[in-house]
Amino acid sequence: MINTWRDASTYSSGERGIVEPRIWKYQTSVQSLEVVVHRKHQLEGGFLSCHAITIKDFPLPVTDLEAAKTEAIRYVQAWLSRAFKALP
């Protein structure tokens, strides 16, 4: 689904609904622009990855999942805005 967060975690048999999701993906209307918020084993907080703009494992300054999703979108928007302003 476009412009919606979805759980992209992989689960062992019977874990879905019991184990907290580890990977959330947000697919934008631009096909190649996918924002990913994920957790790393034994580390606090969330991390941002967005392959289209070469961001990988960027630490987000929040620990709450919903706040991490919001911060990830805000960060990507700011990055894109700076990139477009730099164009001649």
- Break the chain into its structural domains and give their ranges: 5-85
- Percentage of the chain surpassing pLDDT 90? 62
CA 37 to chain centre: 3
pLDDT tens per residue, range 29-62:
888 899 999 998 788 889 999 999 999 999 999 9
Better-scored residue on pLDDT, 15 or 70: 70
2, burial (CB in 10 Å: exposed 0-12, middle 13-18, buried 19+): exposed
CA 13 to chain centre: 25
* pLDDT at position 2: 79
Are residues 36 and 24 in contact, defined by beta-carbon separation less than 8 angstroms?
A: yes
* pLDDT at position 1: 67
